[in-house]
């Protein structure tokens, strides 16, 4: 079974004005579709074919550039679309809110550290919120399409929140103003989904 580009749960214009329609169309329909096709081509007729994307990334030979870049791109965008919602924003509640307070002191402090991780990633990459088996949360950032499932990238745990800071994610609307894009992202985070991922 080849990997498939997942359909969005909302329309391309649903995240306006925080993420614009044209960016969503190109980002999902061209970039994410491209990673999906390239991943399928890279694993075809290899031992990786038939594994889940998580299994592929957790055990990946990091010198396998095609799967590292496209498998990462496939997984990262799946998570990114999943944790966005036109009805998002606000603050988390319940167990996740408690874990954020325990790990970072407060939601505002979490937001500040996460925004800094996203804002200071030089070039292309991602910012992450990850949960460790003991429930402790970690914020980190990775280059290119690397992610916390991969070994030896200095970013661990299971990712439950992802922010794409490649220029293709924001440049049409925000140009060089990455901090404004990061601030907009907080208005479309679906904390109910992030909470579900936290509990898994
Ligand atoms: Mn992207």
**How far apart are the CA of 44 and the centre of ligand 1, in A?**
23
pLDDT at 154 over 90: no
User: For residue range 181-191, what is the model confidence (pLDDT) as tens digits?
Assistant: 999 999 999 99
Q: How far is it, in rounded angstroms, from Cα 127 to Cα 129?
A: 7
pLDDT at 1 over 80: no
Average pLDDT on 65-77 reads 98
Which fold does the domain 19-200 belong to in CATH?
Answer: minor pseudopilin epsh fold (3.55.40)
Q: Are 43 and 56 in contact (CB under 8 A)?
A: yes
Read off φ and ψ for residue 96, nearest 5 degrees: -65, -45
Q: What is the pTM of this model?
A: 0.97
Distance linking the first and last C-alpha atoms of the chain: 25
Name which of 123-127, 154-158, 171-175 the model is least confident about.
154-158
Q: What residues does 47 pair with on adjacent strands?
A: none
**How far apart are the CA of 73 and the centre of ligand 1, in A?**
7
**How far apart are the CA of 13 and the centre of ligand 1, in A?**
17
**How far apart are the CA of 20 and the centre of ligand 1, in A?**
14
**How far apart are the CA of 24 and the centre of ligand 1, in A?**
10
Domain boundaries, the chain: 19-200
Q: Are 83 and 189 in contact (CB under 8 A)?
A: yes
**How far apart are the CA of 195 and the centre of ligand 1, in A?**
23
**How far apart are the CA of 109 and the centre of ligand 1, in A?**
26
User: For residue range 104-148, what is the model confidence (pLDDT) as tens digits?
Assistant: 999 999 999 999 999 999 999 999 999 999 999 999 999 999 999
Q: Around ion ligand 1, which residues have CB less than 5 A away?
A: 164, 166, 169
């Amino acid at each position: 079974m080849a990997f498939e580009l997942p359909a969005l749960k909302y329309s391309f214009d649903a995240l306006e004005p925080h993420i614009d329609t044209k960016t969503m169309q190109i980002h999902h329909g061209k970039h994410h579709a491209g990673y999906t096709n390239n991943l399928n081509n890279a694993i075809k007729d290899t031992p990786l074919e038939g594994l889940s994307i998580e299994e592929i990334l957790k055990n990946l030979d990091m010198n396998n550039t095609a799967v590292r870049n496209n498998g990462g791109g496939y997984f990262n965008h799946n998570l990114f679309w999943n944790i966005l919602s036109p009805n998002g924003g606000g603050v988390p509640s319940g167990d996740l809110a408690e874990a954020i307070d325990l790990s970072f002191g407060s939601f505002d402090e979490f937001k500040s550290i996460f925004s800094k991780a996203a804002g200071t990633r030089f070039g292309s990459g991602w910012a992450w919120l990850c949960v460790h088996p003991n429930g402790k949360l970690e914020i980190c950032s990775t280059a290119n399409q690397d992610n916390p499932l991969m070994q030896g990238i200095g970013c661990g745990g299971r990712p439950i929140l992802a922010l794409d800071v490649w220029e293709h994610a924001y440049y049409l609307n925000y140009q060089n103003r990455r901090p404004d894009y990061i601030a907009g992202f907080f208005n479309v985070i679906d904390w109910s989904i992030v909470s579900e991922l936290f509990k898994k």
